[in-house]
C-alpha cells in the first residue's frame, strides 16, 4: 500500500505498512535546520525541512454543491506530495484536494511512523487529520440532510479517538429517527402506566417500526439480528471505549444504512421531512 492510499482511507489506530516514500535527496539538505542523530553515517534528521514524498495522490470524498453530488477530491498527481519533518517519526502533510469542477478542500495530516519514517516500508498511521472546506464543498454526510450535523460530530469524535463520544451521536440519530417514523406512522411511542404516560422502551418501538417498514439494512437484520444486537448494545453503552472505537465503522454504516433505507421508501419520506429533534 502506498502512503497516499493510507491517507485516503479512514483513520485507523494501528500502524500499517506502506511502501517506502522517502528517498534521500542531497539537494534538500539545508544547514539552517536543526540536526539530530548524525551518527553511523545516517543522514541527519532535519526538523522543519520540506521533503518530497514519493507516493501517489490523496483522494477523499466530499459533497460538492456545484456538482450536486458526492465527488472524489484528489491532490494533483503532477506536483506530488510534500511534507514537513516534525521529528524522526512524525511528518506534517498539507495538501489541497480538488474536485474535477475546481472546488477545493484544504487538508492537513499529521503522520506518525512506528519507527524512523525513513526506514524501508515503514509502519505508519494518521495521528491527526483536519479539513477546511471551501464554500461549495460539504461533508459527505450532507447527503443525510437533517442528520448531517450529528453524523459529522460522530466522525469528528471518532477521529479524535473518543469512542463513547462518537457513539453517543450515532445513538441520537438512531433513536430520533426511529421515534419519528413511529410518530408519523401511528406506532405507539408512549404507554400508560399507573395513570401516567411514559415513553415506551426504545427496542419495543424499534421492533414495531422495523416489522412494519423494514428500516434495518439487510446486511444487519439477517443472522437473527445478531450483529445488529451487538452493535445496538454498544450504541446503548454496554461496551468499552475500545469496543466503541473498533466498531465505529460498522455502527456508522448501520445508522446511515437505516437512513438510506428510509429515503427509498415512499411511505417513510414524510418522516424525514417532518423531523423533530425535540424528543430527547
Query: With respect to Zn ion, which residue has the nearer C-beta, 103 or 178?
Result: 103
- Contact between residue 67 and residue 99 where contact means Cβ atoms under 8 Å apart: yes
Residues that bind Zn ion (CB under 5 A): 64, 66-67, 71, 99, 101, 103
The CB-of-115 to Zn ion minimum distance in angstroms stands at 40
Distances (CA, A) of 84 to 31, 45, 110: 16, 11, 10
Cα(129)–Cα(155) distance, rounded to whole angstroms?
11
Query: With respect to Zn ion, which residue has the nearer C-beta, 132 or 274?
Result: 132
The CB-of-77 to Zn ion minimum distance in angstroms stands at 18
The CB-of-72 to Zn ion minimum distance in angstroms stands at 10
Query: With respect to Zn ion, which residue has the nearer C-beta, 54 or 66?
Result: 66
**β-strand pairing of 137-138 with 81-85:** unpaired
Distances (CA, A) of 179 to 183, 202, 262: 6, 8, 13
CB atoms within 10 A of CB 2: 17
The CB-of-56 to Zn ion minimum distance in angstroms stands at 21
Query: With respect to Zn ion, which residue has the nearer C-beta, 96 or 110?
Result: 96
Query: With respect to Zn ion, which residue has the nearer C-beta, 71 or 172?
Result: 71
- Contact between residue 126 and residue 18 where contact means Cβ atoms under 8 Å apart: no
**b/e 93-127 (16+ beta carbons within 10 angstroms → b):** bebbbbbeeebbbebebebbbeeebbeeebebbbb
Query: With respect to Zn ion, which residue has the nearer C-beta, 64 or 126?
Result: 64
The CB-of-65 to Zn ion minimum distance in angstroms stands at 8
The CB-of-101 to Zn ion minimum distance in angstroms stands at 3
- Contact between residue 63 and residue 91 where contact means Cβ atoms under 8 Å apart: no
Phi–psi pair at 62, nearest 5 degrees? -140, 165
- Contact between residue 36 and residue 45 where contact means Cβ atoms under 8 Å apart: yes
Amino acid at each position: 500500500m502506498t502512503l497516499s492510499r493510507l491517507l485516503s482511507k479512514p483513520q485507523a489506530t494501528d500502524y500499517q505498512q506502506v511502501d517506502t516514500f522517502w528517498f534521500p535527496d542531497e539537494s534538500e539538505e539545508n544547514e539552517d535546520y536543526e540536526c539530530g542523530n548524525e551518527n553511523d553515517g545516517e543522514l541527519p534528521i532535519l526538523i522543519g525541512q520540506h521533503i518530497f514524498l514519493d507516493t501517489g495522490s490523496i483522494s477523499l470524498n466530499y459533497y460538492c454543491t456545484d456538482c450536486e453530488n458526492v465527488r472524489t477530491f484528489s491532490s494533483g498527481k503532477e506536483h506530488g506530495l510534500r511534507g514537513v519533518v516534525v521529528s524522526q517519526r512524525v511528518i506534517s502533510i498539507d495538501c489541497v484536494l480538488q474536485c474535477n469542477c475546481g472546488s477545493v478542500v484544504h487538508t492537513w495530516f499529521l503522520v506518525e511512523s512506528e519507527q524512523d519514517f525513513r526506514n524501508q516500508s515503514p509502519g505508519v498511521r494518521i495521528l491527526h487529520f483536519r479539513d477546511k472546506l471551501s464554500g461549495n464543498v460539504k461533508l459527505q454526510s450532507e447527503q443525510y440532510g437533517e442528520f448531517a450535523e450529528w453524523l459529522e460530530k460522530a466522525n469528528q469524535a471518532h477521529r479524535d479517538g473518543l469512542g463513547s463520544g462518537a457513539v453517543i451521536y450515532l445513538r441520537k440519530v438512531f433513536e430520533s429517527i426511529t421515534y419519528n417514523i413511529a410518530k408519523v406512522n401511528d406506532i405507539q411511542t408512549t404507554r400508560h402506566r399507573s395513570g401516567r404516560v411514559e415513553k415506551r422502551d426504545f427496542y419495543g418501538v424499534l421492533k414495531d417500526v422495523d416489522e412494519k417498514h423494514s428500516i434495518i439494512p439487510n446486511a444487519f437484520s439477517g443472522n437473527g439480528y445478531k450483529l445488529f444486537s451487538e452493535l445496538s448494545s454498544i450504541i446503548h453503552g454496554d461496551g468499552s471505549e475500545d469496543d466503541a472505537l473498533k466498531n465505529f465503522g460498522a455502527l456508522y454504516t448501520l445508522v446511515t444504512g437505516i437512513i438510506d433505507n428510509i429515503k427509498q421508501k415512499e411511505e417513510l419520506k414524510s418522516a424525514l421531512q417532518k423531523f423533530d429533534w425535540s424528543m430527547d
